[in-house]
Amino acid sequence: MQTLLTRFLALILLLGLSACGGVRDDLTQTPDPIGHFLLGFNVVVAEDPQKGPVSRDATPDEWIAAVEKAVNDRFKRYDGDQYYHIAVAVQGYVLGRAGIPLVYSPKSVLIFSVTFYNDATQSKINPEPIQLTVFEPCCSVPFLSSGMTKTREEQMDGLAFNAARAIERLMREHADWFGGTPETPEADPTIVAGNVLVDNPAALEPDQTPPATN
């Protein structure tokens, strides 16, 4: 029995390593413009973010560094003719631990809010911060937690990357804020509105669970 379980765990670990590379777009390419957007200040704060259940630890400074880098990597590519500032507040997270496949493999998420500022008018573009939750852009093995295949730092990198993607999608949806034409991005299940820890904690559970036993 022990040998069978060991083989099963080894198999799903192999599947996870091949499936969890993450969906990443190419940041080396020049993106289509979003109106006049040119990145001004990139400000990230993390004032005592809420740590979700069964999460690995991460410090506010680590989150600030990860998100600042992801935002900078994505938005420094834009070469518009008017400065806009992006302010991000990290509000909560879950960095999934290894868990037990098919029993409890918690998903990793990052909850944050974003506010845009127009440098020319020195004013907020969206009066209230827009809150989003992002999941890791991973995996195709639904019951496998990234905690089994990724380090804490790799999980943070993936979440920060997806947070910057979510911000970019939001900007394209509201491109008129930046003098452009609004777009409708394709649905992305790894990006949802609001705070999943408050609004829908069940979303952190595995997508697949073992069948009930008699």
Domain ranges for the chain, please list them. Answer: 36-204
pLDDT 10s digits, 182-199 = 999 999 999 999 998 888
Evaluate if pTM is beyond 0.85.
no
Summarised one tens digit per residue, pLDDT across range 65-75 is 999 999 999 99
Is residue 166's pLDDT more than 60? yes
Q: What are the two backbone dihedrals, phi and then psi, of residue 25, each rounded to the nearest 5 degrees?
A: -85, 170
- What pLDDT is attached to residue 141? 44
Q: 75 burial class (0-12, 13-18, 19+ CB within 10 angstroms)?
A: buried
Provide the pLDDT confidence category of residue 21 given band limits of 50, 70 and 90: very low
Q: Which CATH number fits domain 36-204: 1.10.3470, 3.30.160, 3.30.360, 3.40.50?
A: 3.30.160
Average pLDDT across the chain, whole number = 83
Say how far apart CA 204 and CA 93 lie, in whole Å: 11
Q: Identify the residue with better confidence: 196 or 130.
A: 130
